[in-house]
Structure formats: C-alpha cells, structure tokens
Amino acid sequence: MEPVLLIKLVGGLVYLLLGGDILVRGAVSLARRFHVSPTMIALTVVALGTSLPELVVVVRAALGGFPDLVFGNVVGSNIANVLLVAGAAATVYPLTYGERSIRRDSAIMVAASVLLVALSLGGTLGRTEGAILLAGLVGVNLLTAREAAQAWKDSELKAPMEWVLGLPTNPWMIALFLVAGVVGLPIGAELVVDASVDIASSLGVSEAVVGLTILAIGTSLPELATTVVAAFQKRTEVAIGTIVGSNIFNILGIMGVGAVISPVPVNVAREFLTLHFPVMLGTAVLINVFVWRRIPVGRAAGIAFLAMYAAYMGLLVVRTVAQAG
C-alpha cells in the first residue's frame, strides 16, 4: 500500500472526526439550552452527531457506486460500537443504565437489525426498502420527541451535561461550531471513500473488508471517544445511550438514506448474509440482554467484548487470505 493512500485516509478521518466532534458540541449546547435530559441527548443529538461520519461516508459511497462500502461501514460500525466501544468503556468503569427508556431503545436496536436483514434477503436494497427504514426512523424520532417534551416538564431532568468539555455557550459560537462541522464532514468523506477504494485495490481485498475494518473503526472513533469520556466521568448511562442510539440511526437512517439516494439498488454480498449480519444481530442481542436484565457491563465483560471483536477481526483476515490464495 502506497504511503500517500494512508496519508489520504488518515487526513480524511481527521476531517471526519474533528467535523463530527465540533458539530456534536454545538448540537449538545443547543439541546442543553432546552433543558433536555442527558440520556435523551445521548439517544438523539449525540448519537446522531457521532454517526455523522458514517452518514457522509455512506452517502458518498452510495452515489459513487460502492455498495460493499455502504454495507461494510454500517454493519461494521454497529459491530464495533458494541464490542469495541462498549468493551473499551467498560474496562474503564462499569456501564450501568439510567432512564427506563434505554430498555425500549435497546429492543428497537434489535428490531432494526432484524428489519435490515429481512429487507436484504432478496439480495438488493432498493429505494422501497430504504423508504421503509427511513419510515422506521421517523417513528422512533416521534417517540423520542414526545419523551423530550415530557422531560422539559420534569425539573429533575434539567441537569446540564457538565461532563462534556468545551461546550460553547454564546449563540454565535454555537452557530460557528455547527457550520464548521457541516463543512468539514463532506471533505473528510470524499477523502476517506476515495482512499478506501484505492487501498482495497492495492491490497487485493474486497471493498467490504475495508469497510468492515478500517472504515468501520475509523468512523466509530467518535462513539469510542464519547463513551470512554463518559466512563471516566462515571456517566455510563450516557455511554450506553450513545451506543444504542447510534446503532439505531446507523441502520434506519444511514442505511435508509444510502438505499434511497443510490442510483441503482444496493447489492448485498452473500458474505453479509452468512457472516456479518449474524454477527451484527448477535452483538445487538448481547447488549440487549445486559440492558434488560440490568446487569452492569463490568471490566470482565468489557475484556470479553474486546476479545470477541479481536476474534472477528482475525476471522476476516483469515477469510481474506484464504480467498486471495
């Protein structure tokens, strides 16, 4: 692999991460002015904001005709969010649960995963399927908006998010953060997608492998940073909320947008049906079990999550080498 491709990829990821971080800070500041609860912000504003790198990358990949990157980024990011992000955060401080809605949202995450798999069984994901996913996102957002309205009335939910550092307070500065993030993200997406396609070609591997590994990990860095900071601050209800909300948005929003805007139906590679979708479903069910039984994700579980992610990455490497041979 040529060094220039690695530089291009890293540069694109920097644009994505900085753009996403600035945009999240501006959005959280805006939400805080409306006294939205920390968990509600995690499930909506922060989850959406930390998923923006995946969104802009998928839009660019869909318009460019790279379906394996579309699926690889979404599916790989959801797997990484649970095993890598939650695993890393749990090794810092046990992940616990705050508001009751986290149970419902974790169940929605599993349902969204099942829906994506069901819609993909035909081998393609077209505009009709994409519209179904987006309709699901609208339904989830309406439900969340109703809870946000209730949170406005509950004085006990009006605590600010002190754990987030560097939040702007001036309205003009908030606007500047939002604009800077919106500008930086598309630039990063262009660089990342182009570099990923070139890397796949130079290494002789499929775009799906690049999307499931390098691209998925790179675009999951915002979730990783957010949840680890939350763990250090012992605000782990925000960490779980960010992971669950991000995974829901990845499937319903990002995959839905990718399918709708793609000039042709997005092809679903067979390996997604036989390997990557089952792993994604398994991780969603795994975190759901912890949430519904209200079992803290402690250090031992975090280490196990990281070990499972390492095993999954190892399996991808073995399969890639076998296919190349």
Q: Please give the pLDDT value at position 2.
A: 67
pLDDT reported for residue 229: 72
Residue 166, pLDDT score:
60
> Which ranges of 42-170 does DSSP label H, i.e. alpha helix?
47-50, 52-64, 67-80, 87-92, 101-120, 127-153
∠ CA(98), CA(100), CA(106), 5° rounding? Answer: 90
Token pair belonging to 196: 């990923």
Q: What is the predicted pLDDT for the residue at 160?
A: 43
DSSP string, 218-285: HHTHHHHHHHHHHHHTT-HHHHHHHHHHHHHHIIIIIIHHHHHH-SSPEE--HHIIIIIHHHHHHHHH
Which regions in the chain score pLDDT beneath 50?
A: 155-165
The dihedral region occupied by 291, where left means phi > 0, alpha psi between -120 and 50, and beta the remainder, is alpha
Helices 236-249 & 127-153, crossing angle to 10 degrees?
150
Residue 33, pLDDT score: 67
pTM higher than 0.85: no
Residue count of the chain, please give it: 325
Q: Provide the domain limits for residue 171.
A: 3-324
pLDDT tens track for 268-278? 888 899 999 99
> pLDDT value at position 212?
85
CATH code of the domain in which 205 resides: 1.20.1420.30
Q: Mind listing the pLDDT tens digit for each residue in 128-155? A: 999 999 999 999 878 776 765 565 555 4
Give pLDDT, residue 163: 43
**Which residues sit opposite 184 in a β-bridge?**
none
How many domains in the chain? 1
pLDDT for position 208 = 80
